[in-house]
Amino acid sequence: MNIILASSSPRRKSILSGLFGTFRVLPPSIDERHLPGETPEAFTVRIAEEKCRAIQDSSVVRESPALIITADTIVTIGGLIIGKPADFKDAVRMISELSGRTHRVITGLSLSTVEKNGAVSAPLTGSEVTEVSFKKLDRNGIIRYLNAIEYLDKAGSYAIQEHGSMILQGYRGSVTNIIGFPLRLFFSMLAEMRLVQELFNI
């Protein structure tokens, strides 16, 4: 079965490389603006599913059979979504807002299959939530951390797999969810779709 990852995230590529080796990367093009009154959970689930449907509608689904994988990860605190920083100043602001507090990382994950006859399944979509607590950081500590990582492509301006000990107090839940691809949820959804044996020969 062909694997299609509809994401340009280096973290997701790395995690899936460990599972499948080779796969096709095809980032979708959708409107990712937040809707008025939409909760962070509803937002990330909607975006993951819309990404999946965008790939379903593309010509690449003719390469059957295939598994389409889409995901969207956000950082949220106080009901607000914290996206990717615009620049260094914005990254400092984001980390300052998270300093000494507990926030949530939410990933929406959507899967769909393409059969040999070209039939496409309706997306199966779920979400994973992890609580993350930051140390109390002063401005110098925040700047040292940001100078040690690539922060511009990361929601919340951080990545626990990159010098995470500098900022992380602790977390509760899936660590791979914080990185951007919740493996526990992924395997649970594959089991629901009865794809584990076919994909992993077990």
Closest C-alpha among 198, 173, 97 to residue 142: 97
* DSSP H stretches of helix in 58-129: 88-98
Catalytic residue flag (residue 72): yes
Nearest Cα to Cα of residue 105 among 186, 166, 8, 177: 177
Catalytic one of 31, 72, 87, 138:
72
Task: Give the angle 177-182-185 at the CA atoms, nearest 5°.
Answer: 135
The residues, any chain, with a CB within 8 Å of residue 140's CB and separated by 6 or more, are none
Task: List active site positions.
Answer: 72
